[in-house]
Amino acid sequence: MAGCITNKKYVFLFPGQGAQYTGMGLDLFDVSDEARDLFTLASEVIGHDAKKLLAEAGGETLKRSDIAQPAITLVNLAAAAVLRSRGIRPCACAGHSLGEYAALTACGVISAEDSLRLTAWRGQLMQEAVSALGEAGGGMAAVIGIPGAEVEKAVNGWTAAGLRDLYVANLNAPLQTVVSGTAEALAEAETRFKEAGARRFIRLAVAGPFHSPLMAEAADKFAAALDRVSFADPVVPFFSNVTGKCVTSGLEARDLVLRQICSPVRWFDQEKAIAETTPDAAVEAGPGKTLSGLWKDAGVPIPCFPAGKLADINKI
pLDDT at position 207, please?
Answer: 81
What does the pLDDT read at residue 6?
52
Percent of the chain with pLDDT over 70: 98
* pLDDT tens-digit readout, 276-309: 999 999 999 999 999 999 999 999 899 999 999 9
Q: Is the pLDDT of residue 3 over 50?
A: no
- Considering 211, 212, 263, 292, which one is annotated as catalytic? 211
Q: Catalytic residue, from 32, 65, 97, 180: name it.
A: 97
Q: What is the pLDDT of residues 46-83, one digit of tens each?
A: 999 999 999 999 988 998 999 999 999 999 999 999 99
Domain ranges of the chain: 10-132+213-313, 134-203
Q: How high does pLDDT run on average in the chain?
A: 95
Model confidence at 4: pLDDT above 80 = no
Task: For residues 153-167, give the mean pLDDT.
Answer: 97
> With contact defined as beta carbons under 8 Å apart, do 308 and 288 qualify?
yes
pLDDT tens, residue by residue, 93-139:
999 999 999 999 999 999 999 999 999 999 999 999 999 988 777 89
Fold of 10-132+213-313: Malonyl-Coenzyme A Acyl Carrier Protein; domain 2 (3.40.366)
In whole angstroms, what is the distance from residue 306 CA to residue 290 CA?
9
Q: Give the pLDDT of residue 115.
A: 98
pLDDT of residue 304: 96
User: Would you call 21 helix, strand, or coil by DSSP?
Assistant: coil
pLDDT score for 59: 87
Q: What are the helix (H) ranges across the chain?
A: 26-31, 33-46, 50-56, 59-63, 65-85, 100-106, 112-132, 148-160, 183-195, 216-227, 250-260, 267-275, 290-297, 310-313
3-state helix, strand, coil in the chain (%, to 5): 50, 15, 35
Is 211 catalytic? The answer is yes
Report the C-alpha gap between 122 and 257 in whole angstroms: 11
The pLDDT value given to residue 134: 84
Q: Which CATH architecture has domain 134-203?
A: 2-Layer Sandwich (3.30)
Whether 48 is a known active-site residue: answer: no
Rounded to whole angstroms, the Cα distance separating 186 from 164 reads 10
Q: HSE of 282 in the Cβ direction (CA atoms, 13 Å)? A: 29
Nearest C-alpha neighbor of 208 from the set 66, 65, 21: 65
Report which of 91, 89, 83, 182 is spatially closest to residue 129, judged by C-alpha positions: 182
β-bridge pairing 246-247 and 238-239: antiparallel
* Helices 216-227 and 250-260, packing angle to 10 deg: 160
Is 217's pLDDT higher than 50?
Answer: yes
Asked if residues 316 and 88 have their Cβ atoms less than 8 Å apart, the reply is yes
Q: How far apart are CA 36 and CA 39, in angstroms?
A: 5
